[in-house]
Amino acid sequence: MMFGISNSHRNQEAEYALRQVLKMFEERRHPTEIFSVRGTEIGFCRHCDWRLKNKECFFRTICTSSIQNMQR
């Protein structure tokens, strides 16, 4: 599987180029997935105490969950 990560906060050139590359892989029958940070709020620790309750950072939990969903 080809996994593309777009770190552009706008849907512009970087994500377009990534989608074109993944499209080429799909045409060759390779499964692809894309993860975009657009629409997400990634930043410094918010001190939300999620880590105290769940033993893992909130942001890491979201990323791990997204990757696991893509593997199904």
Q: pLDDT of 13-39, one tens digit each?
A: 888 899 999 999 999 999 998 888 777
- Those residues whose C-beta lies under 8 Å from the C-beta of residue 22, and which sit 6 or more positions away, are 2, 4, 32, 34
When pLDDT is cut at 50, 70 and 90, the band that residue 62 belongs to is low
3-state secondary structure of 49: coil
If you average pLDDT over every residue of the chain, what do you get? 78
Domain residues for the domain of 1 are 1-40
Q: Are 16 and 50 members of one domain?
A: no
Q: Are 11 and 27 members of one domain?
A: yes
> Which token pair is 9?
């906060």
Q: Are 34 and 68 members of one domain?
A: no
Q: Is this model's pTM higher than 0.75 or not?
A: no
Q: What is the mean pLDDT of residues 47-68?
A: 71
Instruction: Count up the domains in the chain and report the number.
Output: 2
Q: Are 4 and 29 members of one domain?
A: yes
Reply yes or no on whether the pLDDT at 2 is more than 70.
Answer: yes
Q: Are 33 and 1 members of one domain?
A: yes
Question: Contact 5/33 with Cβ under 8 angstroms?
Answer: no
Q: What is the pLDDT of residue 25?
A: 95
Note the Cα 23 to chain centre separation in Å: 17
Q: Are 8 and 36 members of one domain?
A: yes
